[in-house]
Amino acid sequence: MSIFLTSDEHYSHHNIILYCNRPFTSVHEMNKALTERHNAVVKNDDVVWHLGDFCLDHSLIPTILPKLNGTHYLVMGNHDRCYKQKKYITTYKQYGFAGVYDNLNCFEGKFKLNHFPYSNIKEKELVDSDMTNDSSYWLLHGHVHEKFKINSSLKQINVGVDVWDYAPVNLNILLELAGFAK
């Protein structure tokens, strides 16, 4: 079993193709490519952490998530309906996510997971108050799309698909980038 992280897939979101200059001509082509690239690296017994903005229209999740290999967990992003309306957390779990979270510390205390980078965390409405720039942790996040992959000075890594060839990234690669011995 391997662990993968990803963010900002924005399945079925036409405008994201334009906003992020994604190399797809249609939502259908983007959804197909995201699914194929996901399944090329993730196996059925792997775990995938989606760090927000999985799908703009939550009603499409039951048609998309079953096509993706792995057991899936969601850290809510600003485009996930359950982010602002917590009553939908149960719905997201019914759709197939094994767990849905605001943020958390994981992987033996090495990383914090959140949708937002530290530069956005100071905005109280975005995240819980325990998400401060704590130099003892690296932050794995999304939200910034193609803006950067790694910010070493702030100890944060963007796991968004726009900087990882539209596929999830293996936790071992992130551990290496953060300077942790495997």
CB atoms within 10 A of CB 165: 9
Three-state SS for 176? Answer: helix
Domain that holds residue 120: 3-177
In a domain, 65, yes or no: yes
The answer to whether residue 15 scores a pLDDT higher than 50 is yes
* Model confidence band, residue 128 (pLDDT cutoffs 50, 70, 90): very low
CA distance 1 to 14: 33
Burial of 107-116, coded b for 16+ CB within 10 Å and e otherwise, reads beebbbbbbb
Name the range with the highest mean pLDDT among 31-40, 100-109, 126-135: 31-40
Read off the CATH number of the domain in which 160 is found. 3.60.21.10
Residue 120 has pLDDT above 70, yes or no: no
What is the pLDDT, as a whole number, of residue 37?
A: 98
Per-residue confidence (pLDDT) for residue 53, from 0 to 100: 97
Instruction: Kindly state whether residue 182 falls inside one of the protein's structural domains.
Output: no
Domain count, the chain: 1
d(CA 37, CA 69): 11
Confirm whether 112 is domain-assigned.
Answer: yes
Any domain includes 93: yes
